[in-house]
Structure 1
Amino acid sequence: MPSTKEIRGRIKSVKNTSQITRAMQLVAASKMKKAQDAAMSGRAYALLLAEILDSVAGQEIAQTHPLLQAREVKRRGILVIGTDKGLCGPLNGNLFKEVMAIKDDAVYVTIGKKATQFISRTKRPLMADFPLSDKVSYAEVRAIVNYMLELYEDGKIDSIEILYSAFVNTLVQEPTVMRIVPMTGIHDLLEDIKKRYKIDLSDTAGDEREMIFEPSAKEILDELPALYVKQIIFQSLLGAKASEHSARMVAMKSATDNAKNLVSDLTLEYNKARQAAITQEILEIAAATQFN
């Protein structure tokens, strides 16, 4: 049995760890609320853009846009959205399992140090990696999207896909692969977005009215697909951040609770060891008095 001094040292160490995990839990909870609000507030705009694009995709002039034209997918371009830091439970592990399941010819662009390290370690072709702040800005997203679109237009990739941890709620984050370019299945993608956001499909019937475009249909359709790509990636990044902070908060809460349970067990062990030492001393004193 360990000595009382050793047990006291372990109790002190676990309590110190508990204080650290508790502090990290509170920080993550604060960031989680802001990230969740940002992710939820951006969904309406992303859905509106998808509905507009779905409405105009059937226009004859829209079929000439390179992002709306069908293309044989020989090499996939996948944007993997990971985290910069660990201590967020199985979030990154679940995401990387999806990467391991990809057997097609693919190249990768990463966001977050963990994703970059994983892609490099597994010797998958890494085209670029981008940093991302806790407060996701549209300027950061613009640089990422422009790079992905450049690869697509140059023929280096035949699709633009996102692999990220979709935010469902505080306890559930789902690793999700979403193909956004080419936009040949925009209607199916729109229905998927509605289901993921839990929107009543009966209230969002398609608009079949004839549209008048200002300043012109060509000018609008030249910009709309790229704007849609930026918004979908931006929304995915917001969701990934909400997932990260939610997973970290839950993981740190679990660690804090486990530390408290361990302190209780160690305290019980300490009391037993102390009582055993006292009993031994009493027995030794009693034995000594018998010989005197």
Structure 2
Amino acid sequence: MPSTRDIRRRIKSVKNTRQITRAMELVASSKMKKAQQTAIAGRPYANLLESMIANLAPHFDESESIHPFIDKREIKTRGVLLITTDKGLCGPLNTNLFKLISDSLPRTTPVKFVSVGRKGTQYLARMKRNMIADFPVSDGVTFAETRNVVQFMVKKYLEGEIDTIEVLYATFKNTLVQVPRIRPVLPLENLAQAVEDLRKQSGAEHKCDTREFIYEPNPKAVLDALLPFYVNRVIHQYFLGAKASEHSARMVAMKTAKDNASKLLDNLTLKFNKARQTAITNEIIEIAAASFAQQS
């Protein structure tokens, strides 16, 4: 049986661990709420973009080639943006993403990856997958940071190096559940799909604008300017969802670690009390035995 000194040292170590995990849980909770608020703050922008694209759609015959983002092409090489975390301690979040890669994107499929997050970059390098770039993104997930990533992928898409733009990330379902998914972004099937995607993201009811608009210099030029904003907006929203999932997963993992530390601390305290009681009992027995020996 370990001595009381060893048990006391272990109790102190577990208390320190519980204190650290408690602090990390609170930090992750605060960051998760901030990421959710940022996502909600972008809804007015999505509503306006959706309204403008919806009003532009009737001006085009979608059977014709009106923009490279809408043109159908033969898919030879898929382009996948992998969004993972820079740090660990977030449960099975990254592992589930890597499992989805092995299940849905086997080596036989021509895929070029763009990685955001150190864990994803390390995985792709370790598995020797075709990674053409990696980008850092801060916890704040600014639009300028995500725009750099999007511009790089759009450039590769227009040059024909990749034939799709897809985003692989952990969707935020609720605090306890984060589901890994692959979301296609380009090519678009039509303008109606773009409008529907923006409506889902905004979460607001669609209000039909019956006013007549005049587009200068022409509807085609306005559409050419709007579609890049659409792609930036959609992928930026995926980044915000991935960050919320990361902080949520880390908060749950740290809460579980804290609870386990509390249970372990209770067991160690009980063991310490038993060991101390045993030591006291042995000392009393020794004193009584010595006293009895002297009397006899």
On whether the aligned pair clears a TM of 0.5, the verdict is yes
Report if the CA contact (8 A) 1:46-1:235 is conserved.
no
Going from structure 1 to structure 2, the CA distance change for 1:6 and 1:190 (only over 3 Å counts) comes to farther
| Structure 1: runs of 5+ lacking an equivalent | none
1:128 is paired with a residue whose SS is strand
Q: Which moved more, 1:136-145 or 1:121-130?
A: 136-145
Choose from 263, 274, 278 the match for 1:261.
263
Q: Does 1:143 align with 2:148?
A: yes
Cα offset, 1:110, TM superposition: 0.6
- TM-score normalised by the chain length of structure 2: 0.88
Going from structure 1 to structure 2, the CA distance change for 1:145 and 1:172 (only over 3 Å counts) comes to same
Count matched residues: 289
State how far apart, in whole Å, the 2-side matches of 1:97 and 1:55 are. 41
Q: Which moved more, 1:244-253 or 1:105-114?
A: 244-253
- TM-score normalised by the chain length of structure 1: 0.89
State how far apart, in whole Å, the 2-side matches of 1:113 and 1:47 are. 33
Specify the alignment match of 1:42 in structure 2. Answer: 42
- Aligned runs of 1:1-292 on 2, under 5 Å? 1-46=1-46, 48-50=48-50, 52-53=52-53, 56-57=56-57, 59-60=60-61, 63-101=65-103, 102-103=105-106, 104-184=109-189, 187=192, 191=196, 203-204=205-206, 212-292=214-294
Report if the CA contact (8 A) 2:82-2:115 is conserved.
yes
CA RMSD of aligned residues (A): 2.5
Going from structure 1 to structure 2, the CA distance change for 1:190 and 1:213 (only over 3 Å counts) comes to closer
Report if the CA contact (8 A) 1:164-1:177 is conserved.
yes
Cα offset, 1:26, TM superposition: 1.9
Opposite residue 264 of structure 1, the aligned amino acid is D
Question: What are the superposed Cα offsets for residues 212-238 of structure 1, whole Å, 9 maximum, x if unpaired?
Answer: 423311211112221111111111111
Question: What are the superposed Cα offsets for residues 97-142 of structure 1, whole Å, 9 maximum, x if unpaired?
Answer: 2112112221100111111111111111000000001112221122
Going from structure 1 to structure 2, the CA distance change for 1:77 and 1:50 (only over 3 Å counts) comes to farther
Q: Which moved more, 1:90-99 or 1:267-276?
A: 90-99
Q: Which moved more, 1:188-197 or 1:226-235?
A: 188-197
State how far apart, in whole Å, the 2-side matches of 1:249 and 1:84 are. 15
2:85 is paired with a residue whose SS is coil
State how far apart, in whole Å, the 2-side matches of 1:216 and 1:180 are. 26
1:183 is paired with a residue whose SS is coil
Going from structure 1 to structure 2, the CA distance change for 1:54 and 1:166 (only over 3 Å counts) comes to farther
State how far apart, in whole Å, the 1-side matches of 2:40 and 2:174 are. 11
State how far apart, in whole Å, the 1-side matches of 2:292 and 2:285 are. 11
Going from structure 1 to structure 2, the CA distance change for 1:237 and 1:33 (only over 3 Å counts) comes to same
Going from structure 1 to structure 2, the CA distance change for 1:198 and 1:65 (only over 3 Å counts) comes to closer
